[in-house]
Structure 1
Amino acid sequence: MTEQTQYGFYVDTSKCTGCKACHVSCKDRKDLPVGVNWRRVYEYGGGQWATNADGSFEQNVYSYYASIGCNHCNEPVCVKACPTGAMHKRREDGLVHVATELCIGCNSCAKACPYDAPQLDPDRKVMTKCDGCFERLAEGKKPSCVDSCPLRAIDFDTMENLIAKYGDGDGHIAPLPPESITSPNLIIKANKHGQPAAGGQGEILNFAEV
């Protein structure tokens, strides 16, 4: 039996500068409405300043960025939560898509997903999400978020190719949830300040943007 092809993302958080070129190119590709963000760039930071007895200062302040979209998980909880079968995982490439003709806009998938990937289109009243730029893949191209990144901090390919190129990565870091929830197809290279997933000492600093 032939092993199923599975596409996924690689994100190097040691390179990401938070420029949001990936975010903008993704919105532009599908002309997404305000409030619908298939790819989001999280700024995560923490630490504090302290005054020493001699009047000098010490600090351990840090921040880093993480570009996150849909991870086309092996165990997609959005698919399990969908009551109509609209949310589904494609056999040919492992990408998670929405059959909009079946979608009732109930938001069950969005509530289940720990990555905030499914997003409701307020005008059409259907769920939308990152589709892996499947039509670009068919043309031999990378997703728009990958091609737009000036630091080449994002890559997209079959998981077999990504692992051969980058290894298994460093595991999830904050503000991401533990990988055990959905078995995501996402390889992370951790920033040197990376905090433990779901247990970091910092906080998301740009809630208004994500």
Structure 2
Amino acid sequence: MGQKGFYYNSVICTGCKACQIACKDKNNLQVGELFRKVYDFEGGTYPNVWGYSLSLGCNHCEYPKCAQNCPTGAIYKREKDGLVVQDRQKCIGCKMCLWSCPYERPQYLKEQGKSGKCDGCADLVDQGLNPACVDACPMRAIEFGDIEELRKKYGNTPDVKGLPDSNITHPSLTITPKKEAMK
């Protein structure tokens, strides 16, 4: 199997946050804890205003800073599909992963005193299913699969306004951006 990743179509996304809610529900997260988050960007002046949404979970990077800087090895990349997952039993709650990820995707789970992150719904993927966020999207703006296949199908655009430079971690992400989001 190749590296798994996400395709996100910002052009058709309505910013409804169904992906965010599905992720929150699947992972039983508390208020303020989001493994997938929908960011909204807007600008311009009347009559030339613009806006777009950006849905982000873990990007399952080729060089995940969260895993590289985790002192216990709690966060690691799965060999079989490249998903960046976490063994929460090994987490000591030091927040190094939070500080290391340029996408700010790991979250501190206050009640547990540990961090947590999107694991691409590895349990569902292992059953041949999609991550919860993918199937929850009413617009089908998120796809999951072999990142090279997704790039062949949709192009390779991991850099848009609002995201750090992809050369930092080489995210397994490609985006169809709205023209306002182009870097």
TM-score bucket of the superposed structures, by smaller chain? over 0.9
In the other structure, the counterpart of 2:145 is 157
In the other structure, the counterpart of 2:172 is 185
In the other structure, the counterpart of 1:203 is none
Within a 5 Å distance, the mapping from 1:8-87 to structure 2 comes to 8-49=5-46, 59-87=47-75
Give the gaps of 5 or more residues in structure 2: none
Instruction: Tell me the C-alpha RMSD between the 2 structures.
Output: 1.3
* Higher Rg of the two aligned structures: 1
- The amino acid across from 1:182 in the alignment is T
Q: Distance in 2 between matches of 1:160 and 1:44?
A: 28
In the other structure, the counterpart of 1:88 is 76
TM (normalized to structure 1)?
Answer: 0.83
Q: Distance in 1 between matches of 2:90 and 2:68?
A: 15
Q: Distance in 2 between matches of 1:180 and 1:116?
A: 16
Give the superposition deviation at 1:195: 4.1
Give the superposition deviation at 1:167: 2.7
| 1:127 aligns to 2:115 (yes or no) | yes
Q: Distance in 1 between matches of 2:136 and 2:63?
A: 29
Q: Distance in 2 between matches of 1:90 and 1:137?
A: 12
| 1:99 aligns to 2:87 (yes or no) | yes
Q: Distance in 2 between matches of 1:166 and 1:176?
A: 19
Q: Distance in 1 between matches of 2:95 and 2:158?
A: 28
Match of 2:181 among 194, 197, 202: 194
Q: Distance in 1 between matches of 2:115 and 2:86?
A: 7
* CA separation of 1:118 and 1:171: change in aligned 2, threshold 3 A: closer
Give the superposition deviation at 1:163: 2.2
- The amino acid across from 1:87 in the alignment is I
Give the superposition deviation at 1:66: 0.8
In the other structure, the counterpart of 1:176 is 163
Q: Distance in 2 between matches of 1:64 and 1:94?
A: 29
Give the superposition deviation at 1:150: 0.7
Q: Distance in 2 between matches of 1:73 and 1:177?
A: 13
Taking every aligned residue pair, what percent have the same amino acid on both sides? 45
Q: Distance in 1 between matches of 2:87 and 2:121?
A: 15
Q: Distance in 1 between matches of 2:22 and 2:70?
A: 28
Q: Distance in 1 between matches of 2:172 and 2:109?
A: 25
Say how many residue pairs are matched.
183
